[in-house]
Amino acid sequence: MRKPGIKSTREIELKKILVIALVFITATATAAEIDKRQILPLSELQRNHVLTEMRALLAGTQNILDALYKEDMAAVADHARSLGMGMAHKGEDHLKAVLPKEFMQLGMSVHKAFDQIAVDAESLKDPKHTLQQLSESLKKCGACHDNYQIRITEQPAALGMNPSLHHPHH
């Protein structure tokens, strides 16, 4: 007779098989899902520009969080301002011709939000308010990643692009 709470080898093996089957089914279902995000066909240089900007936004957000932790609202404002509209105008013109209007509007709204974070950090000096603003900005980042994917095209000239304009200026 088994002691209460002790499982038989057969029960343990059946549970292992069930777990393996569930993992397999989940992996298969995930692999079978079709990526329905809108494709952004970019040259490699355009892709690098977009990804460089995304990495700068991510690093800047980390710097803002670090400054918030230290309750240094002047540093929060400086970091946020560096991610604002001034950053957006460092090479976006060559992307307007190939990126959807909605993508550009979403990106510009993120830059405007960082400008507002900078203004509010200086005037209100309220870390909770800044955290709320940062949370709203990050939702826009998530929306972008949920809706778009980048695919590299072979010929940027086919997009009407001047290859000399593809270099990021960040």
Domains and CATH numbers, the chain: 44-149 (1.20.120)
What is this structure's pTM?
0.72
Q: Indicate the SS3 state at residue 33.
A: coil
What are 131's two structure tokens? 């955290």
What are 11's two structure tokens? 């029960």
Which residues in the chain land under pLDDT 50?
156-170
Alpha helices in 97-160 (DSSP H): 101-123, 127-147
The residue count of the chain comes to 170
Residue 13 is predicted with a pLDDT of 75
Residue 17 is predicted with a pLDDT of 77
Residue 1 is predicted with a pLDDT of 57
Residue 29 is predicted with a pLDDT of 56
Residue 167 is predicted with a pLDDT of 42
For the chain, the C-alpha Rg in angstroms (whole number) is: 23
Give the model confidence (pLDDT) of 82-124 as tens digits: 999 999 876 667 788 899 999 999 999 999 999 999 999 999 9
